[in-house]
Each structure stands twice: as C-alpha cells, then as structure tokens.
Chain A
C-alpha cells in the first residue's frame, strides 16, 4: 500500500458574485497515492476544474475563496502557505497541463525557452544545462529532431505537438504530481491516443502521480486507476475504474454511462438524462441530483445524503445505499 501523496480534506471553495454565492466546491475529500492516477469526471458546472485550481492555489480571489479544508501534500498542509512558497511548489512539485495548448504557451517565446524557464527557476540550472535538458525532454515527449525544434515558436507546431511541449514543460522538473485539465479534449482522436499513451509511459518513467480531469469517460477508463465522479460541486461516487464503470452505483454515473452512444447501444433512442445541471447559485434542496434522478425517492427531495464508505474503498453519496448490512459506515 503506497503512501498518500496528496490528501484533500473537506475542501470548500465558494465564489462571491453579484448574483449570489456560487458553491463551486462543497466539502470535497479525496486522496492520490504515489504513482496512482486519479480521474475526476464531471460535466460542466461539476466543479472539477475548480478542484484542481484550488489544489494549485490558483483561484482568483476575489471573487473566489477557499473557504475551508486542508490540502495535504506529502504530509504538509499547503493551504496556509504564502504566495512565495506556492510559487516554488508550482512547476516543481506540482505541475499542470491545460486544455488549450495554444493559449497556454506564450506565442512570443520559443518552446525551448519556455521549458528552460522552469528549469532555471526551480532547479537553478545554467542556460547551457537547461538547454541541454530541454532538448532531452523534447525527445522524451516524442518530438522529432528536438535539436532543431527547440528554437521554434508555438505557432509553428501542430496542436498535438504543442500539447507534447506542454507535457515536457510540466515534467521537466520531475514533479511529484501532474495535473491534467482536459488535456486531450481539443485534440483529434488519433492524436489523443498518442498523447494518452505518452502520459501513461511517462508517468511510469518519472514515477509521477496524475490527477486527470475530463468529461470523457473513455479517457478516464484508459489512463486512470481510480475515478471520482462529481456533480454540482460534490462527490457522487468513487472507486476503481473497473468497479465504477462495470458496476456503477450512483444513478448519475449509471445515466452518464448509458447516455454515451456506442456501437452496442444500437438504433433506439439514446438514454437521456432529463433536465439540466443546476445553476450553482441556486442549488436544489435535498440531494443535488434529485430533480433529474430516475430513482428519486421522497427522502432524496428533503435531505442531503452523506457520503457512504464501503469496506472495499468505494464511496457513494446516495440514499439508495447506506444500510448497515452493506458493511460500511457513513461519513460525517
């Protein structure tokens, strides 16, 4: 049993806007062990991006604020850390890659200099050393002729190439945790396959833990060990990918899986989740999912379900579960 690298406890992030308070994240807890890949799945408004921005302490404040909780990295809570201390951590211990490689890369700097920047700041390398390492990293992420391309600009590369450069920047300082926020959503499916394969290979080589945010269940299934399903800022279900996808517990997870068109799911009308994701400033009472849930009961409308822990490590937040005979216990 490897130890926990990241342990997030009771994280709550709210946004104070003109229209009211947006409860983007409410009492979220999860952990990532060393070498593990955790996938966080959810649709728009689920809070998945806010989660990782909170972990990186990149929430714009105002209007956002991390209201409570702990983010424990290697045994140390990073929430109380100063801005200066966080700057040292970002890029070095925790690195992030984003969805849109064109806007995440600076168009006026060469790709080499963007990799070197991280190396020189965090590892104190000289220009010469950093350039050598940058070329090495470009080779590792599969960019052909890295000695030539290190001096090229982002606009000279294709989308897939740019994403590889982002991965190179993220991994060059050998971070302990790599956060990927929808890294392949903007890419073609054949390029996506290349990038996912690359992430899988590199995480083994660098022994990095990965936090993968996506709305694509297929992507999660391919790269993750465990998966956390989020809805409207709260955790709905957690388990290993095999468990959750083969035998989903929460009605939302089940509906999500059913509504994906696949080659097997043929010719009838697709399964539909009625209604829409609720507005974050006007959440329904009781269980957040109850207005759209096929199995909604009376209690679901009135009371919020707690997170129920199974003995095998699975968790689910639903009134359908939580009887003592399941052998787990309720969370407070």
Chain B
C-alpha cells in the first residue's frame, strides 16, 4: 500500500479533541465568556470565602445594626450587626453546593433511569416511563417542601430533596438520546465483538450523551439554586446562623424600611448567578453540539 493513500494532511489537523473544538467555539461567544468568567469567579469566592470575606460569617458588630453602606461594612449590616457582604460571600457556598450536589444526585438517578429505559425499551421502558411521569407530575417545589417536612431541615436534606425531585427532566432527555444513539452501527459493532449490554451502555451510550448531560446540568443548576432560595425563604432550608441568599432575602422582609438594601444585594447576587448559568448553558449547548439546538 503506497504511502500516498495513507497521507493525512497533518498540517491541517492540530490537536483536535472534541472538547477542544467545543472550547474554541465557545471562546467566540463574548457573552458566554463573560458568564464563564463570572461562574469561575463565583467558584473562587465560594472556595476562598474565609479569606475573601472581610468578616466571619456570624460576627456581630453590635455597634452598627441595620446600617447602610459604610467604609467598614461595604454593603451594610443586618439585624444582628453581621456584615452583609460577608454573608453574601459565605452564602455563595450554599448556592454552589446545592447546584453541584443536588444536581449530581439528580444526574445519577436520571441518567441511570433514562439509559435503562432508552436502551432496553419494551416493558422496562414502560415501567420506568410511568415512574418518571409520576415524579414529574408533582409540582417540584411542593414536592421538595414535603420531603423537607419528612426529613427535617438542614442543608444536607436540601440536597436530597432537590436532587430527588429534579431527576425526571434528566431522565427524559437521556432516554430519548439513548434511543437515538443505540441505532448507530458502532453499537452493533460492539455487540459483534462480544460486548454485553452494560458495557455498551457505559462505554458508548453514556459518553455520547455527555454533551447533553453537561448542558442539562448547567441549565438546571439555576433552578436548583432558586429552589434552595425558596426553601430557605420559607424557613425550611439552611438554619441560622448559616447564611444563604434565600434566607437573607427572607429575613430582610421584616426590615425593609430600616435597611432596604438588605434584601436587594442578596437578590442581585441570586439573579446574576442564575442568569450567568442560564446563558452559559445556552452557549455550551451550541458549542458542544450544534445539533442540540432544540433542547
């Protein structure tokens, strides 16, 4: 076989993995880059909170209660004299952890159920789809509240409640993706080489759903953060003195006249975070797989 037939124009192909290509596409979208920067900033803030925050979370400066912005307290203080900026910074930890942990739980349950339903079809699909429908037909926030009543309050329980409630959307999407993917010939090729069902699902089907999973995670995280905020707002989430943005907005209601900015700043933090994740999710979807535009 002459060399000519093997020749790949090496110069045209630099290191080109699938994710590298996607990253290049993402880089072109200015909005996406901003959102990505914001998310990274948020992560840094959350991780290094004890270093960044000017005051410890529960430090009470009794000399300034419900004060507005000052040189000592950039965003003012709450009813206990705690620095709002610091509490917002610590609160970012809660939001991010909810996003990551709750969503991880949702993804694990959702991908498993969706992949099994999509791959096996038939009776398995029928049973799992009915289960999905039952879970999905509950209004999510109500369901989360019920779970919290059962499990009790506290941040760990919040993770489970939200994760347990949010898996259905993941499952549905993964199910339809797997149903499409399983008709690809590489699945047949794997079977022809002696691959078992589980091996095929793990090696071929789920990795090919990875873009979808990343996009879903990015778009569901804002929803999860909002649920946590709602739960904390209702008093069911984090317990004092731990701060979360929802909890702060809740408490601030009573003191609106005294210090209106008390509720506004955490609110801004919440809105910006949700917006950033949403826009990033959109852009990631386009960058990872332009064919997913209808997701």
Contacts and interface: CB of A to CB of B under 8 A. Distances in A.
B4 interface: yes
Interface string B117-145: 00000000000000000000000000000
B9 A275 contact: no
Interface string A20-52: 000000000000000000000000000000000
A216 B124 CA distance: 46
Contacts of A18: 28
A282 interface: yes
Contact of B2 (A274, A278, A279, A291): A274
B5 A282 contact: no
Interface in B1-60: 2, 4-5, 7, 9, 11-12, 28
A292 B12 contact: no
Contacts of A281: 12
B12 A275 contact: no
Nearest to A274: B4
B5 A279 contact: no
A112 to B, nearest CB: 31
B143 to A, nearest CB: 38
B4 A279 contact: no
A272 B1 CA distance: 11
**Interface of B, helix, strand, loop or mixed by DSSP:** helix
A281 B9 CA distance: 12
B4 A282 contact: no
A73 B11 CA distance: 43
Contacts of A272: 5
A274 B5 contact: yes
A282 B12 contact: yes
A281 B13 CA distance: 12
A278 B12 CA distance: 11
A103 B165 CA distance: 40
B189 to A, nearest CB: 24
A282 B9 contact: yes
Contacts of B7: 275-276
What is the predominant secondary structure among interface residues of chain A facing chain B? Answer: loop
Contacts of B12: 279, 281-282
B4 A292 contact: yes
Interface string A287-303: 00001100000000000
A109 B9 CA distance: 47
A207 B60 CA distance: 94
Contacts of A279: 9, 12
B12 to A, nearest CB: 6
Interface in A243-297: 272, 274-276, 278-279, 281-282, 291-292
Most buried by B among A18, A274, A278, A279: A274
A291 B9 CA distance: 12
Nearest to A281: B12
Contacts of A276: 5, 7
A288 to B, nearest CB: 14
Nearest to A20: B12
A292 B12 CA distance: 19
A62 to B, nearest CB: 14
Nearest to A272: B5
B26 to A, nearest CB: 13
Contacts of A292: 4
A282 B11 CA distance: 10
Nearest to A278: B9
A290 to B, nearest CB: 12
A281 B28 CA distance: 21
Interface in A191-235: none
A140 to B, nearest CB: 38
A18 B24 CA distance: 10
B250 to A, nearest CB: 48
Contacts of B2: 274
A274 B2 CA distance: 8
Contacts of B11: 282
Contacts of B9: 278-279, 282
A291 B7 CA distance: 11
Contacts of A291: 4
A15 to B, nearest CB: 16
Nearest to B28: A18
Nearest to A292: B4
A279 B28 CA distance: 24
Given A282-B12, A291-B4, 8 more contacts: A18-B28, A272-B5, A275-B4, A275-B7, A276-B5, A276-B7, A278-B9, A282-B11
Interface of B: 2, 4-5, 7, 9, 11-12, 28
Interface of A: 18, 272, 274-276, 278-279, 281-282, 291-292
19 contacts: A18-B28, A272-B5, A274-B2, A274-B4, A274-B5, A275-B4, A275-B5, A275-B7, A276-B5, A276-B7, A278-B9, A279-B9, A279-B12, A281-B12, A282-B9, A282-B11, A282-B12, A291-B4, A292-B4
10 residue pairs, one from A and one from B, having the closest CB atoms: A274-B4, A275-B4, A274-B5, A282-B12, A274-B2, A279-B12, A275-B5, A282-B9, A279-B9, A275-B7
